[in-house]
Structure 1
Amino acid sequence: MTTPLPLCIIGAGSIGMRHVEVATASPHVEITAVVEPHAPRRAELAAQGLNTVATLDDVPAETRAAVIATPTQDHGASAHACLSRGWAVMVEKPTAATLDEARALVADAGAKGLPLFTGHHRRCHPFSIAARDALAEIGELVGVQGLWSLRKHNTYYDVDWRRAPGAGPLLTNLTHEIDLLRFFVGDMTEATALLSSARRGFVIEDTAAVAFRFANGALGSFLISDAGASPWSFEAASYENPAIAGSGEDYIRITGTEGALAFPSLTRWGRSGPGEIEWSKPLAPVPGQRFERIDPLLAQIERFAAVVAGGEDSVLCTGADGIAAMEMTLAAALSGKAGKPITPADVPGDYTGV
């Protein structure tokens, strides 16, 4: 790819500005405009030298792609509008406000033959890609165990909507983990969840324990909490988010018939000698490969640009992958309320988890 991809970024909030940051840093993309309806915010961005416009109608004609970082309720409308202009689309997670909207969006992109991706950027870390590849070395997959527990500061909840239904860690944070587990292991077919609000006492949960069934027969469990203090989370393990203290501790463990893998260190436990692998014989640890830290959003936008230029990519989260992550997140939410296992087919198309 020699010519930078001309793209616009829709939405200039915190996530939108991260996309502006990485697009500005990449030689493979060129920002044609930042779409922001709020006039005072447009003035601030213009003062920074950005071409800011109020609507999509004002975006320069040479634009060929868009990154959508608006509130979730707008994802569907903005994405359809971009597709109608013949643009490739990268929409922030979740793909849309409901499954019905997300499915219509994927169908629209498919009918038009245009790329549509969901912004699950954790896939783009080199250690995530390496973890997926390393699973072939531990035999047939048996189980996955994950623990994400970060205690959010008390003043985080001074904002009303953060205490309202839909804002708990299950819907806010678990979707990241579900997409990553699907990236590693494959499709999920069932979720069973227990919810608790015992520690913070809000209407929303502060802790959820979820069991998953995978299509390949493996089982999984995930404990997620914003009330429990711990060093175990993707952000702490990877040092990805400067606002969250790093620990370097693994937070996911995957077992197979021939060994086990810890993530994100990629430490692999396997055969220590000849004969059957069984519990009387110790497993030998093999340290994982070390990678330089990257900005995964930068890697994601450059992969996106390469696809728009005609390339292929097996890492980016497709629109269909984004729907699958939504389905299982909502299945877990519905299970927590219904008190029974829920499959993707059980989730109503207009269900929002509230």
Structure 2
Amino acid sequence: MVGGGSIGMRHIELTQTSEQTRLTAVVEPVEARRAELRDMGLPVVATLDEVPGDTRGAVVATPTPDHATSGASALARGMAVIVEKPVAGTLDDARTLVAAADRAGLPLFTGHHRRCHPFSLQAREALAQIGTLVAVQGCWSLRKHDSYYEAEWRRKPGAGPLMTNLSHEIDLLRFFVGEVEEVTALLSSAARGHEIEDTAALAFRFDSGALGSFLMSDAGASPWSFEAASNENPAIAGSGQDYLRLIGNEGALEFPSLTRWGRGAPGEIEWSKPLARTPGPELAAVDPLLAQVERFAAVVAGGSDDVLCTGADGIAALEMTLAAALSRHRGRPIRRGEVPGDYNGT
């Protein structure tokens, strides 16, 4: 484990829980934090050079600007790598990291763990039952507590919902719908009055021709978000309310409940005929971060996986997240391929 902060600790707990993994070291450069981790009984070291030689994989959970550096260092030492999202701070850094993995012939994944939920996997299958996808609509609105913003950096560019939360949504949309061709963003800071945005309205065009809209806010109180819908994060109250709707020419799908709306009568499906509602299946609850690390372990052991977010997938999610930020600055839609390699969203 590279990084002993809050996200790193979550991964540490899971690697100690899983029968498929053994924690060999926690790399933490800050001396005071190393002392705290040592007091917890963890095998803590200061640098990757001190990691035991039998270590076969690394999870990089450091601050975003360090992702590419630590990821490349782990690869150079023969370790397969998961880098927490986003894969890097800029496209240039992300591409350098992916190139390093290719040269080393080692697996590199990005920590977009939502793919590993059973309802995410089944959603892709359910989409085939609603015909040609026409549109997708999403809402992520969780009111963060006021004390969250006592840290000055959380009020500065790069720390709003656009750069903090959007990449998860884009990766999941790509997982379901396919490549994003362009994005347009409208931003507002009217609710909190900070330098950063507190609300963003986004419009997407996909390669398939489908369109999408997404509302994001960390100032608006609502039951609609992935975390509230999935009860994934113990720090966020659950609601059980769907936050994403996918619409096809033969029906619609609510997510993550997988409630499906479709043909309710013979003949053409059209607005005079009520749609039939089919409840989604009952699925066992899983910890997606545990599922992710166990899939990773299976790949390290020589297996293959078509669910984990690859380094290339991570680049695609990062590019369209940065494109949304660039759209705000340029006041127009930003297409794939337009984001400068050194742009970091601020």
TM-score (ref. length: structure 2) = 0.98
Match of 2:24 among 32, 39, 61: 32
Work out whether 1:62 is the aligned partner of 2:74: no
| Secondary structure of residue in 2 paired with 1:29 | coil
Work out whether 1:49 is the aligned partner of 2:41: yes
Gapped regions of structure 2 (runs ≥ 5):
none
Gapped regions of structure 1 (runs ≥ 5):
1-8
* Counterpart position of 2:281: 289
Note the 1:17-166 alignment, pairs <5 A: 17-166=9-158
Note the 1:1-354 alignment, pairs <5 A: 9-354=1-346
4+ aligned runs moved over 4 Å, structure 1: none
Q: Distance in 2 between matches of 1:197 and 1:40?
A: 36
Q: Distance in 2 between matches of 1:239 and 1:61?
A: 38
Which one-letter code corresponds to 2:104 in the other structure?
A: K
| Secondary structure of residue in 1 paired with 2:25 | strand
| Secondary structure of residue in 2 paired with 1:28 | coil
Deviations 1:162-200 (A, max 9, x none): 000111111111111111111111110100111111111
Q: Distance in 2 between matches of 1:38 and 1:335?
A: 37
Which one-letter code corresponds to 1:309 in the other structure?
A: A
| Secondary structure of residue in 2 paired with 1:346 | coil
Tell which deviates more after alignment, 41-50 or 95-104: 41-50
Q: Distance in 2 between matches of 1:97 and 1:246?
A: 31
Deviations 1:81-137 (A, max 9, x none): 111111100010111111000011111111221100000111111111111111011
| Secondary structure of residue in 2 paired with 1:44 | helix
Percent of pairs identical after alignment? 71
TM-score (ref. length: structure 1) = 0.96
Count of equivalent residues: 346
Q: Distance in 2 between matches of 1:184 and 1:323?
A: 17
| Secondary structure of residue in 2 paired with 1:323 | helix
